[in-house]
Amino acid sequence: MDNEGRMTRLASMLRRRGVILPSFEIYGGVSGLVDYGPVGASIKRRVEDCWIEHWTGIPNVREVDSPTITPESVLMASGHVGEFNDHMSECGDCGGVFRSDHLLADSHDKPDSLNASQLDDEIEKIGVVCPSCGSKEWRGASPMNLMFGTSIGAMGKARQAYMRPETAQGMFMLYPALFRHFRKKLPFGAVQTGRGYRNEISPRQGMIRLREFNMAEMEYFIDPESPPEVDLGRWGSRVVLIPDPEGSYPGEKKISFAEAFDSGIVRHPTVAWFLAMTLEFLEKVGIDTDKVRFRQHASTEMAHYASDCWDCELAGEHGWVECVGIANRTCHDLDAHREHSGSSQLRGWRQYETPRQETRDALVPIGSVIGPRFKEMANEVTKLLGELVEIPDVLPFNLELEDGSLIEIDEDMVTRKTEQVTIRGEYFTPHVIEPAFGIDRIIWHILDHNFNEIEKEGEMYTILSLEQPVAPFDVSVLPLFDKDGMGEMARVIAREVNSIRGITADMDTSRSIGRRYARCDEIGIPWAVTVDHTSLEDGSVTIRRRDDQSQVRVTVEALLTHLSSGAVPELF
């Protein structure tokens, strides 16, 4: 099929069919904001559900959910207040504001690597004209913070805050609760899906660069001295990697993840594991794996918090687009929050293989007090006092039990002694490996990769070949005509299909059956069930398969059992 205009036809279909639409259009729209319509929202929910299921399949990974409004103190510590900036240039004549690097996109290789005065020099040298009014009078480039600001509370008591630029910070804030939940045993991870915000100066490219977007991130906390063992052999297929151009292995390669890790291209075993998990997820939701590559950041382009970073890029109508970032954020975030907040709860515990003997202060429990006072918890209290690494100077103090509750230890309960003590381990700041997914970009590429234009009876015909787990509906129920009882029978079937856990039915009664099949194919519904005159006589229906448009006639009962066991293909 002719590819010219394909992107326009795809975007037009998405809008016409209620998949993805520009937001607030009756008020002229706001660039960088999109709606998921009555077809798209189901797709989005299902992609997110697949994502959550994929990552929480790892036994020590749990979902959390934190606010989007974030107080300034958190984002000061994380570096976003100071460093989450784009440079922009304002036209001296018309007041138009543009990203400085975008103004240089055609004339410079890496305009986003330039600082303010370099940008100004370059803009003047090249004689960039204002895209709005044609003027060459530019005010100097200045950094603009990309967060949406707001304030919490009223008047004199108002407090500066921002809409979160990533979900990650919410998970760092929850670290103490996670540490407790996972019984203080690393590694463990938290996942979160939800909105992120980025006040783009000039959003472009539809779904690719949004001001409000849907993210899905995991923060996986590990002990850097003993990262989890990973069997990369599970993922045998070869994948395109583009290693750091300034590193030891420049140049595109097609190798397996195990080879990439063994040869040192991927520097960290957990990063290698998540690269593989990412590819597996993308395949599940219907991304064409021939249009996937992983690109390692050069040290000059790495985010302020990352020590090793890979982009997973997907190819489509917008070229290669970063859709997932996998970064080894090391101890940057937890250390920064510890320093800024003074909290002692942002740490992990590392047991020594062999306990060490040291001479120092200890609090020796007095059994005759501890026993009666704490009853069945006395043993735990005694054990915890023996393991105490940081001996408080002043009593009473709060001792944290294994279930997170606090008990007060006062002077009557212990004797302070300088003695030979057994040190069983030490505290440290965990490292964190983060896979961060841009859900909207992934949905765009799922749609792009599955948008097939074929020729049918001399005309262009569209089939959206979505995998069933991310199709907007599993089934469309179509009465041949909405009369003679066919409509009622279809409604009953739709209701029964909907009552199957995780399976949803659409129903469509308007216009010719051919046009309704075409609509089903165009929005990616894998199965169309038709209720016709024969159905009224013998209770059978036809099932039509989207991808080859073949049909079989089965009983309603067979339809329902095969739908619930995921075995509809076996009917063909």
125-144 positions binding its own copies, by CB under 8 A? 144
Distances (CA, A) of 557 to 477, 531, 554: 15, 14, 8
Nearest by Cα to 42 from 506, 452, 559: 506
Residue 190 Cβ vs its own copies, minimum distance, rounded to whole Å? 7
Count of CB atoms situated within 10 Å of the CB of 493: 22
Give yes or no for residue 157 binding its own copies (CB under 8 A): yes
**2, 510, 537, 548: which one contacts its own copies (CB under 8 A)?**
510
Within residues 405-434, the interface with its own copies by CB under 8 A covers 405
Contact 425, 435 (CB under 8 A): no
Give yes or no for residue 264 binding its own copies (CB under 8 A): no
Give yes or no for residue 44 binding its own copies (CB under 8 A): yes
Within residues 339-358, the interface with its own copies by CB under 8 A covers 340-341, 343, 345-346
Nearest by Cα to 543 from 532, 530, 556: 530
Instruction: Look at phi and psi of residue 545 and say left if phi exceeds 0, alpha if psi is from -120 to 50, else beta.
Output: beta
- Name the E strands within 287-331: 292-296, 308-316, 319-330
Alpha-carbon gap, residue 537 to 59, rounded angstroms: 51
Judged by CB under 8 A, how many residues of this single chain contact its own copies? 101
**225, 403, 548, 570: which one contacts its own copies (CB under 8 A)?**
403
Binding string, 64-103, against its own copies, x = CB under 8 A? Answer: xxxxxxxx-xx-------------x-x----xxx------
Nearest by Cα to 192 from 305, 55, 333, 326: 55
**87, 337, 431, 544: which one contacts its own copies (CB under 8 A)?**
337
> Which range binds its own copies by CB under 8 A, 44-52, 215-223, 224-232, 443-451?
44-52
Residue 137, both tokens: 């009078």
Residue 270 Cβ vs its own copies, minimum distance, rounded to whole Å? 19
Alpha-carbon gap, residue 284 to 111, rounded angstroms: 36
Contact 409, 363 (CB under 8 A): yes
Within residues 476-505, the interface with its own copies by CB under 8 A covers 491, 494-495, 498-499, 501-502, 504
Location of structure tokens 């991310």? 470
Within residues 212-241, the interface with its own copies by CB under 8 A covers 212
Give yes or no for residue 199 binding its own copies (CB under 8 A): yes
Residue 404 Cβ vs its own copies, minimum distance, rounded to whole Å? 5
**10, 11, 39, 285: which one contacts its own copies (CB under 8 A)?**
39
Give yes or no for residue 513 binding its own copies (CB under 8 A): no
Nearest by Cα to 327 from 292, 282, 296, 293: 296
Give yes or no for residue 439 binding its own copies (CB under 8 A): no
Location of structure tokens 């996998």? 326
**45, 110, 383, 483: which one contacts its own copies (CB under 8 A)?**
45
